[in-house]
Structure 1
């Protein structure tokens, strides 16, 4: 190979890397200017760290029962008080973050994976495949999320695994519609026609050229959906259809403390506040990602 050919071959990857680096720098600059997004990212990061290091941080065993200390308010020994069985609320909240965040993330990943596949196939091939897949999404969207999740858990049984499946099921049509719309826009571009004319297979066009160009709305929707997944999972546990006692899940803690809401309001207050803060954090971060990844945004 001659020297000019070597230089040309080396220049193409270098140009691609430099353009990607420039786009990432622009993304970080936009995100850094959004104080609300940074606050949301900080909240999300803190809760993931708390969940990761819960065994080290938790001052007590979250399952240890001590009836002699039941319904105690916040104190030096139990910073957030104890529940109706004398268990430390702070420790249960820390361990509960593991369950709630795991349910939120896994259900979103599972629902997004199926929804992305359905949406990109429907948008790329169109015709009867598009009609069939979108009608399936319409049927799923016809049911309110919590009712659909309740129906699925009622059939499968109450457990954390089944909650993940139920919450993921409702995420499928949302991701499918977003991906379908983005795919319809991208596949009309001239470079897709050029790649197809060069003999590229459908799978190569879909996964190497279309999917990387529609990843931005997927990331934004996934971040926002985690908040909805946490709320839905907590609601199912509150109704007794989710994570079962004695596992320390936030919705289960709310359900167990409602009988003592006048006598010991701290039992329901702190789990409720934690759910509120986490959901706000994910929503703020998701909104910031949407603004930073929007090519039309000039701010």
Structure 2
């Protein structure tokens, strides 16, 4: 007599699991077709591994000063040479990945959380709330991002934490606008009206039905914005308003070697190339995610 009950309880999760597996499999197949996206993903993965295992991978202490060996060109002992204080450039680049990726990810995450909340509230409730939130976003978008970040860091002070706050601040309107537009489209669907008619609360509709349907553009924008955040953080450090010495950071390394461009170009060349490669990696991966998550690409 218990056999029908056993069949009923076991088939539901199996079907749900198989459906999830099929969706992820289809997403991976679409992503795998984009070779540039795979290259970008590989670049990002390599730098993430370097950042996590920096103490094990870096050949030298990035803060170790060795003046007799200053400004050495690339050699077997120092693959990328040394800076004007004799510090190994390769080791500083590897440890610098920790700072740059941390700033990029945390600032994007903070900006996305606030921006997504504002965007959903504006799109769902509309009217006066929508107007106030969007005018606030318009004010922020009226300023170039780097100038707004400069102003915020100048007020708060030069530090890695303040750089994260500054970059996250001008990420808010970008995420808010994207999510607002997606929310306006989703809330007009008939099943949302049906759920509301059944007595579901606004919070349940927003977090259980609208938010999952607007995640795709959020994921894509987050991946692309990390690249922009890394460039901005490097620019602030180049100007002396970001991560402070002796902590290795790519923008600060560019600043330290700017007066040595002619005599020792390797001091600035390698940090610049590193920033370029990471930004390209995130952009390629973000473009691939956008194509893979595009509903029109689904069969």
Is the pair's TM-score, using the shorter chain for normalization, greater than 0.5? yes
Shift of 1:20: 2.5
The equivalent residue for 2:36 is 36
**Residues 132-152 of structure 1, C-alpha deviations (whole Å, 9 max, x = no match):** 000000000000010000000
What is the CA distance between 1:17 and its match in structure 2? 3.2
1:268 aligned residue: 268
1:62–1:179 Cα change, 3 Å: same
Structure 2: runs of 5 or more not aligned: none
User: What is the deviation of 1:14?
Assistant: 4.3
Indicate how the Cα distance of structure 1 residues 297 and 228 shifts in structure 2: closer, same or farther if over 3 A, else same: same
Q: Distance in 2 between matches of 1:180 and 1:161?
A: 28
Secondary structure of the residue that 1:296 maps to in structure 2? helix
- The answer to whether residue 133 in structure 2 is matched with residue 133 in structure 1 is yes
Tell which deviates more after alignment, 8-17 or 266-275.
8-17
CA distance in 2, matches of 1:298, 1:201: 31
What is the RMSD computed on CA atoms of the aligned residues?
A: 1.7
Aligned to 2:289: 289
Distance 1:288 1:256 in 2: 35
Q: Which residue of 2 aligns with 1:244?
A: 244
Q: In the aligned structure 2, how far is the partner of 1:17 from the partner of 1:67?
A: 61
SS of the residue 1:51 aligns to: helix
- Counterparts of 1:12 and 1:196 in 2: how far apart (Å)? 26
- In structure 1, the residue matched to 2:123 is 123
- Cα drift, residue 197 of structure 1: 1.1
- CA deviation profile, 1:227-269 (whole Å, cap 9, x unmatched): 0000000000001111111110000000000011111000000
Aligned to 2:205: 205
1:1-299 to 2 correspondences below 5 Å: 13-297=13-297
For residues 13 and 188 of structure 2, the distance between their equivalents in structure 1, rounded to whole angstroms, comes to: 26
User: Per-residue deviation at 1:84?
Assistant: 0.6
* Deviations 1:78-98 (CA, angstroms, capped at 9, x unpaired): 110000101000000000000
State the alpha-carbon separation in 1 of the partners of residues 185 and 20 from structure 2.
22
How far apart are the structure 2 equivalents of 1:170 and 1:108? 10
- TM-score with structure 2 setting the length: 0.96
Deviates more, 1:187-196 or 1:105-114: 187-196
TM-score (norm 1): 0.96
Q: 1:208 to 1:253 in 2, by over 3 A?
A: same
Deviation at 1:194, TM superposition (A): 1.1
Distance in 2 (alpha carbons) for counterparts of 1:278 and 1:260: 24
- Name the count of aligned residue pairs: 299
